[in-house]
Amino acid sequence: MIVLPDVWMEYWRGKDIFKGLFSLDGSVYREQEGRKTLRFSFRDRYYFAKLHRGVGWKEILKNILQFRLPVFSAQNEWRAISSLEKLGVNTTPLVGYGQRGRNPARIKSFVITEEIANTKSLEDFCRDWPNSPPDHDLKRVLITQVAEIARTVHENGLNHRDFYICHFLLDMSVFKDRFDPRCLRLYLIDLHRMQIRRCTPWRCRVKDIAALYFSSMDIGLTKCDLLRFIKVYQNKPLKSSFGQHKFFWWLVKRRGIALKRKFYRKNK
């Protein structure tokens, strides 16, 4: 199965598309066993190709023994992108995808997305906030948008599984002219582990929000900022949104702190 625009199919007419894609020249952004992310150009525009060669049975068994759902191919990512696009959540625009083979450990697959130019991850954008606090309206709008994205994702049966602020890209073009916080645009990226169900389990919501909390601990957020996030995420008045879900937020805080401790132990 291969789904690509006509102009791409015409370019590879009579050739093995998988062989052509897997031998592309470009800048390697990430490479792990069985998976590579590549930035390349095609007809004067830039794209990203995520190429999956198969993870192998060893990796599949390791994930199962750790009670983690294995990611066999790029199919998960293109389904996630399509789901977010239907929900109106900005993400990397999907160009095409394909898959070959039936053996879960040896499936070859790919997903191609457009490059989102002139963006910066929230991790980088917010890094200096403790020493150089941002404009109040800017921070308020960013917190609101992140919370709205989290709510939309979770209310529609999705959970990210790597829900860190580094996976939110901020469109920097809004800062070229007169700044208007209402024009801010965020993109949610790195969707290869996203899970899609009819309903998002409670434990998966906790894991996602805890990861978000952990990754934002060092950017100088105040108690008021955290309460704003809670109010928008629950989409209720603060008293009921916190009061009715007190245990949920206690678990989020507990898991977020545990992630922080684990991070420090690993990076000592």
Q: Which residues are catalytic?
A: 162
Assess contact for 184 and 170: CB atoms under 8 A: yes
Query: If 0-12 CB within 10 Å is exposed, 13-18 middle and 19+ buried, where does residue 100 land?
Result: middle
Buried b (16+ CB within 10 A) or exposed e, 24-53: bebeeeeeeebbbbbebeeeeeebbbbbbb
Measured distance CA(183)–CA(29) in Å, rounded: 29
Q: How far is CA 234 from CA 101, 106, 238, 249, in A?
A: 42, 42, 9, 11
Measured distance CA(63)–CA(126) in Å, rounded: 33
Measured distance CA(13)–CA(28) in Å, rounded: 26
Structure tokens at 9: 């199919």
Measured distance CA(266)–CA(160) in Å, rounded: 23
